[in-house]
Chain A
Amino acid sequence: PYRAVQVEILDAKTREKLCFLDKVEPQATIAEIKNLFTKTHPQWYPARQSLRLDPKGKSLKDEDVLQKLPVGTTATLYFRDLGAQISWVTVFLTEYAGPLFIYLLFYFRVPFIYGHKYDFTSSRHTVVHLACICHSFHYIKRLLETLFVHRFSHGTMPLRNIFKNCTYYWGFAAWMAYYINHPLYTPPTYGAQQVKLALAIFVICQLGNFSIHMALRDLRPAGSKTRKIPYPTKNPFTWLFLLVSCPNYTYEVGSWIGFAIMTQCLPVALFSLVGFTQMTIWAKGKHRSYLKEFRDYPPLRMPIIPFLL
């Protein structure tokens, strides 16, 4: 016999009754309940709702079915406001478009950056032009990947993240670009040799990073949020999966090290270091969740640096 369920939603902090839903189908998902809740409280759109069985517990997933949860005929859910949300895609596009544009302002020596006699002049060093191409390529690649390659497991993130992230990316881009495109820029100590080697590192790592992004995309069918262990494919760049959990980060660090050597610019090295620190934290987290989720996870793999870290 069909039995409808009742759902009451309480505020996790104040325990105040926020909403009472009558005659909910037992097969309803959390996502559907979130939509119903929005109807009574339109300011809390589904993306900023966190519903949980215990006020201090973990958030329930959108796909969870009401029937399968440990609830009686009246389900009590606790609500927490996650704050204003913004989509991941929007954040990525904004944080990547900035550096692309900002670097070019310095490259073309737009007025008020350097002395007026340098306005719209061009550097006489080949490496400066090469650096502009590399930097621009890097961010164009990122923008295209955001639009066509990546499959995000989360739809949104808190709004304040966009300010934090943009300050980081845009700030460092401006800082780096200022020195590389400066009229008093000093080319690398070992000249063309150094530039060629660094460029090779950069290109290889960019190809590697792209290969990993494609391999990860192929792991997950469109629209799904499934998670599988990534394995090496026929593409040699993906063979790094044998040694690390997050080769995309490994290649990313490599790219920036290449760029730093190519430009011999200390701010670039510092940017690489900060990025490396952050990516290591992410890689370790990812590695830990892989280990937790999959019993048969390859033991040889390290999070980000083969054998070391």
Chain B
Amino acid sequence: MAAAAATAASKGNGGGGGRAGAGEASSSRKKKGPGPLATAYLVIYNVVMTAGWLVIAVGLVRAYLAKGSYHSLYYSIEKPLKFFQTGALLEILHCAIGIVPSSVVLTSFQVMSRVFLIWAVTHSVKESGHISLKKEKVKNRLQTPLKTWKLERQTTVCQMAELKVQSEDSVLLFVIAWTITEIIRYSFYTFSLLNHLPYLIKWARYTLFIVLYPMGVSGELLTIYAALPFVRQAGLYSISLPNKYNFSFDYYAFLILIMISYIPIFPQLYFHMIHQRRKILSHTEEHKKFE
């Protein structure tokens, strides 16, 4: 959904140099757009982001060619992924100060869901895997007979190994979806700001989502699902009673709620994008006819 929201949210709002929805002709009449200084800054921002995601794409390809398999590819691009995806938080600021004509709420939702997946799921769960294994060893040894303990320990290690691999495959799924989407999206903005948008980029932005959205959503959901056992075991980000502030939070339940929320949200975003596609790509066709 972070993948879906990324483009849907911005496309919902037309006009201007930033998150353009409708064709340039109709939008430039209605909105005044950012000033020259803001435009320069936005061009630089979008170029940098395009470059960043290209680095990630290249990193993935090189790692794949070097290793020959798609395992552990996440680790090769982990740092730039975190850096550039987190950097997208600036886009909320852009909307807030008005240099990009998008809704702050929609943009926040989109960026936050990406950042959440990167840090609160993929990053956090990777580390807690090791910690909980140690805890399990000490606890169980004292309470169970040796044979049972050895069997349980083996199972746990297998589970851990299995889960790490699982989470990597699904992580790769959404990383690839995001990478392609973001390269196109940021180059779209760059060209729009410079008032020279190649049809290919516009076409790509409004067409590739058909495959990339479901791909990204699948990767995200599978990753969250894979993270669940870790979260349960380590009690990750969870607070239980009693405590001084009389508050409790179950991260495991929270993640399940997040997964459920994909059910109403994803179809809405997806069909909104399809609707936008019909509107924008057919509009350009007509425009071309009159030229």
Chain A residues near B (Cβ < 8 Å)? 179-180, 182, 184-186, 189, 263-267
Residues on B with beta carbons closer than 8 Å to the beta carbon of A185: 241-242, 246
Known: A185-B242, A186-B243, A265-B247. 13 other contacts (CB 8 A): A179-B246, A179-B248, A182-B241, A185-B246, A186-B244, A186-B246, A263-B246, A264-B244, A264-B245, A265-B245, A266-B245, A266-B246, A267-B246
Which residue on A lies nearest to B245, using beta carbons?
A266
- B247-A267 in contact (CB<8A): yes
Residues on A with beta carbons closer than 8 Å to the beta carbon of B242: 184-186
CA distance A91 to B97 in the complex (A): 36
Q: How far is the CB of B167 from chain A (nearest CB, A)?
A: 32
Which residue on B lies nearest to A189, using beta carbons?
B244
Q: Among the listed B244, B246, B248, which residue makes an inter-chain contact with A180, where contact means beta carbons less than 8 Å apart?
A: B246
Chain B contact residues (Cβ within 8 angstroms of A): what range? under 10
Chain B 212-256 near chain A by CB (<8 Å), digits 1 or 0: 000000000000000000000000000001111111100000000
CA distance A265 to B246 in the complex (A): 5
Residues on A with beta carbons closer than 8 Å to the beta carbon of B243: 186
CA distance A264 to B245 in the complex (A): 6
Q: How far is the CB of B26 from chain A (nearest CB, A)?
A: 19
Which residue on B lies nearest to A178, using beta carbons?
B248
**Most B CB within 10 A of own CB, among A263, A264, A265, A266:** A266
- A184-B245 in contact (CB<8A): no
CA distance A125 to B113 in the complex (A): 41
CA distance A265 to B243 in the complex (A): 10
CA distance A179 to B246 in the complex (A): 6
Residues on B with beta carbons closer than 8 Å to the beta carbon of A180: 246
CA distance A263 to B247 in the complex (A): 11
**Most A CB within 10 A of own CB, among B241, B246, B248:** B246
CA distance A228 to B247 in the complex (A): 44
- B241-A266 in contact (CB<8A): no
CA distance A265 to B242 in the complex (A): 12
Residues on B with beta carbons closer than 8 Å to the beta carbon of A182: 241, 246
Q: How far is the CB of A286 from chain B (nearest CB, A)?
A: 23
Which residue on B lies nearest to A185, using beta carbons?
B246
Residues on A with beta carbons closer than 8 Å to the beta carbon of B241: 179, 182, 184-185
Q: How far is the CB of B35 from chain A (nearest CB, A)?
A: 27
CA distance A186 to B23 in the complex (A): 59
25 contacts between A and B (CB under 8 A): A179-B241, A179-B246, A179-B247, A179-B248, A180-B246, A182-B241, A182-B246, A184-B241, A185-B241, A185-B242, A185-B246, A186-B242, A186-B243, A186-B246, A189-B244, A263-B246, A264-B244, A264-B245, A264-B246, A265-B245, A265-B246, A266-B245, A266-B246, A266-B247, A267-B247
Residues on A with beta carbons closer than 8 Å to the beta carbon of B244: 186, 189, 264
Q: How far is the CB of A249 from chain B (nearest CB, A)?
A: 23
Q: How far is the CB of B261 from chain A (nearest CB, A)?
A: 16
CA distance A184 to B244 in the complex (A): 10
Q: How far is the CB of B108 from chain A (nearest CB, A)?
A: 15
Residues on A with beta carbons closer than 8 Å to the beta carbon of B248: 179
Which residue on B lies nearest to A188, using beta carbons?
B244
CA distance A186 to B246 in the complex (A): 6
Q: How far is the CB of B204 from chain A (nearest CB, A)?
A: 36
Residues on A with beta carbons closer than 8 Å to the beta carbon of B246: 179-180, 182, 185-186, 263-267
Residues on B with beta carbons closer than 8 Å to the beta carbon of A189: 244
CA distance A136 to B98 in the complex (A): 44
- Residues of chain B in range 111-157 having any CB-CB distance to chain A below 8 Å: none
CA distance A185 to B245 in the complex (A): 9
CA distance A264 to B241 in the complex (A): 14
Residues on A with beta carbons closer than 8 Å to the beta carbon of B247: 179, 265-267
Residues on B with beta carbons closer than 8 Å to the beta carbon of A265: 245-247
CA distance A182 to B243 in the complex (A): 12
Chain B 183-216 near chain A by CB (<8 Å), digits 1 or 0: 0000000000000000000000000000000000
Q: How far is the CB of B239 from chain A (nearest CB, A)?
A: 10
CA distance A126 to B248 in the complex (A): 22
Q: How far is the CB of B105 from chain A (nearest CB, A)?
A: 14
Q: How far is the CB of B243 from chain A (nearest CB, A)?
A: 7
Residues on B with beta carbons closer than 8 Å to the beta carbon of A186: 242-244, 246
CA distance A186 to B243 in the complex (A): 6
